[in-house]
Structure 1
Amino acid sequence: MITSAPIGDWTWEVTPSTGGTRPVRAAETALAVWNVLAGYELATPVGKAGVSVRSVNDTRDVRVRVEGLSLEPDPLSAGTALSRAVAEADSLEGDLVVGVRIDCPGYWLESGTKHRAEKMFTIQVDIWKSSLLVVTLETYVDAWLTMDTRDREQPEVHAENAHRLAAALDGISRLLGTAPVPGDPNRYATPTETGFEDPRIEGPAYDDSWGTFEISTRSRLLRSRIPASEDEYEEITEHPVRYFSIRRDGQVMGYVWASVGDEAAGYEPRAAAGEGAFEVGAEWLLRLRDAHGQGLSALAALSWVAQSSPRPEAGLVVEDTPQLAPSLDALEELSGRY
């Protein structure tokens, strides 16, 4: 399963031996870590980067914030978006925290088949007051665990993927010259220096942590993108649901659905599609809201929105007729798994 909050994280702290550390060091380090991940197909030759600069004494004092920069073939060569953002950070004076973040698409394996997640890892490199470099790696896929985040044992998936994560962590430690500090246990798993603890030994921290936490988190992320309103359908149902797949740029972004037994309808973002799934979903939720305002039943609304797509940027309906899922949980499972 794929999550919106990290399944686990690891941190490395590096103190430069001499002199101060310039902002370009943060970008160079982030890209070097990215290259280690890429060696195991845990990062691909695309991705998005961001640069931020804020005051050490007041985190609200943001001097630079640039996000969504596409990683070009040589990201720090003259004239690239990342090099310009780093140069702007380098021009500032004072006690600052300079951060570079990279969202890494990557592949996990299941029965020998590659599956891609648009945000498999994130790399965050911070430089504090030009004297301390901190690297944090986060993962959003549970393929490294012996049990997935819905409490199902997955020994084969673990065997195919856990060694890749362990090798990447070791490679990053050799790159940085220090061992990682595993993050704290969380709702999903407990990180270690080489990956994760086996939840089969003491049991998971929560029953069905993905269903318990991820669904509500995704709903908040979606609805934070649109104005609040009471003019909309119910979000949950105990009945089967009909749904259409929404595709943009050749990729399924999510599923717009309606209950067959009551007045519930909504959109499930396909987690593997990353941030774009939420961008698309916000527009489909607004279309459902329009249908509700017209007094349409949930199933009628599903047909109506399928025939009147919001904008090309919001994607298009894939199927000619809606598909049937036995429950909303089954559709959520589909949206979070591949």
Structure 2
Amino acid sequence: MITSEPVGEWFWEPSPVSGAAESGISRAFALLTDVRKTLVSLGLVTGEGTGSVVLSDRRAMATPLCEHRDVPVEAGDGFGPGFAAAAGAVGALSLLPDQLLTLSLKLAGEWTESGVGRRAEKLFTVRVDVWGEGAVLLALSTYADAWLTLDLRERPQPEVAAENAPRLAAALKRISELTGSEIDPGDPTRHARPTAEGFGDLLAEGAEYDDSWGTFEVPGRWKRLMGLVPGSSEGQDYESSTEHPVRYARVRRGERVLGFLWASVGDAAAGYEPRNAAGDAAFEGGVPWLLRLRSLRARGFGAQQALEELLGDRDDGPGGSAVESTAHEAASLDALEELSGRF
């Protein structure tokens, strides 16, 4: 399953920037390059995704001095002209004490299940922080449970872990070697406990929380999604949960499924479930459809009527998306929420 928040994180502290002989941007760029090449070589990422370059004064982090966010990154040896230009623009500025330079990548990647490849648009993120005083921090995060012996609903999946965990372990070892620093596994998350080799064996030690997918991931991504929708939702939207079966239709951007527009068959509940494997676009793509549901509710449409009204509809805003013209049925909203995290 794919999450919107990290399943686990790991950290390294490479040697500091070597004074005037080396710039912070060149060190950060080199580390990102090496880590991405390592992940590509092991088949964990494809190399493509988005990147961000941010320069901040640590006394006013909320207002960066310079920022370029979510710049497309191309597969191949380089990052593509957009990200290189963004790094160059920030790199032209001097990195002074009390300033922080952050370069980060959100990388599409792949794992396997019974030998079948699966893809997520944000499987790993890599971040390099360089302080004006010279200190460097490298962080790697993953957003999948493919490395775990229990999935996020506590179902055993030792075969899936056996297919994928060795490549993650190899990546962590290689990153430690190329940085010349020891790995620092991050704190346990709501989903798992990171270790120097990947993750602890949940079949042996048990999960920290029962059903971390339903307990934390589903409410957390609903909060994130609603934070993107303008205006107050109080009293304006359909109910967000139901105990009844639901009908749903896929929301697509080209060939990519962004999420699922749904309506209860038994009460006044309707909404949108983001498909986590589509990455950030899954959340952004749901906003216009939630606003249309809100408008239909204000006009007196029932939940099922609203879904029928939107079947086959298109949104021509930035990026654009469309609702498929055919609705399907899921046994419950919980089943649809799980589907949205599984592929």
Q: TM-score, normalised by structure 2?
A: 0.93
Any stretches of 5+ residues in structure 1 without a counterpart?
Answer: none
The residue number in structure 2 matching 1:200 is 203
The partner residue of 1:321 within 326, 330, 333 is 326
Report the Cα offset of residue 198 of structure 1. 1.1
Q: Match for 1:34: what amino acid?
A: R
CA contact (8 A) 1:283 1:314 kept: no
Residues 1:146 and 2:149 aligned together: yes
The residue number in structure 2 matching 1:3 is 3
Residues 1:85 and 2:91 aligned together: no
| Percent of paired sites with the same residue | 44
Q: 1:296 to 1:34 in 2, by over 3 A?
A: same
Alpha-carbon distance in structure 2 between the residues aligned to 1:17 and 1:163? 32
Q: Match for 2:240: what amino acid?
A: E
The residue number in structure 2 matching 1:238 is 243
Alpha-carbon distance in structure 1 between the residues aligned to 2:11 and 2:158? 27
**Secondary structure, aligned partner of 1:261:** coil
List per-residue Cα deviations over 1:267-306 (Å, max 9, x = no partner): 0011101011111111111111111011011000000011
CA contact (8 A) 2:100 2:130 kept: yes
Report the Cα offset of residue 201 of structure 1. 2.3
Q: Match for 1:3: what amino acid?
A: T
Q: Match for 1:92: what amino acid?
A: L
Q: Match for 1:53: what amino acid?
A: L
CA contact (8 A) 1:291 1:305 kept: no
**Secondary structure, aligned partner of 1:149:** coil
The residue number in structure 1 matching 2:37 is 35
Residues 1:302 and 2:307 aligned together: yes
Q: How many residues get paired?
A: 335
The residue number in structure 2 matching 1:102 is 105
Note the 1:1-338 alignment, pairs <5 A: 1-16=1-16, 18-20=18-20, 21-22=22-23, 23-72=25-74, 73=76, 75=78, 80-93=81-94, 94-95=96-97, 96-227=99-230, 228-229=232-233, 230-311=235-316, 313-318=319-324, 320-338=325-343
Alpha-carbon distance in structure 2 between the residues aligned to 1:243 and 1:127? 46
CA contact (8 A) 1:246 1:253 kept: yes
Q: Match for 2:292: what amino acid?
A: R
CA contact (8 A) 1:50 1:65 kept: yes
CA contact (8 A) 2:53 2:102 kept: yes
CA contact (8 A) 1:120 1:141 kept: yes
CA contact (8 A) 1:56 1:129 kept: no
List per-residue Cα deviations over 1:167-224 (Å, max 9, x = no partner): 1111111111122100011211100001001122232111001111111111111111
Report the Cα offset of residue 114 of structure 1. 0.3
CA contact (8 A) 1:56 1:128 kept: no
Alpha-carbon distance in structure 1 between the residues aligned to 2:8 and 2:120? 16
Q: 1:236 to 1:180 in 2, by over 3 A?
A: same
Report the Cα offset of residue 15 of structure 1. 1.7
Q: 1:280 to 1:97 in 2, by over 3 A?
A: same
Alpha-carbon distance in structure 2 between the residues aligned to 1:333 and 1:76? 34
CA contact (8 A) 2:311 2:327 kept: no
Root mean square deviation, CA, Å: 1.6
Alpha-carbon distance in structure 2 between the residues aligned to 1:76 and 1:322? 40
Q: Match for 2:178: what amino acid?
A: L
CA contact (8 A) 2:51 2:104 kept: yes
Q: 1:220 to 1:91 in 2, by over 3 A?
A: same
**Secondary structure, aligned partner of 1:138:** strand
Q: Match for 1:303: what amino acid?
A: E
Alpha-carbon distance in structure 2 between the residues aligned to 1:12 and 1:307? 49
Report the Cα offset of residue 14 of structure 1. 1.1
List per-residue Cα deviations over 1:218-275 (Å, max 9, x = no partner): 1111111112232110000000000001111211111000000000000001110101
List per-residue Cα deviations over 1:57-88 (Å, max 9, x = no partner): 432351111111112445468xx222322223
Instruction: List 4+ stretches of structure 1 deviating above 6 A.
Output: none
CA contact (8 A) 1:43 1:106 kept: yes
**Secondary structure, aligned partner of 1:46:** strand
List per-residue Cα deviations over 1:12-67 (Å, max 9, x = no partner): 00123742541122122112101100111211131100000111343235111111
Alpha-carbon distance in structure 1 between the residues aligned to 2:222 and 2:79? 37
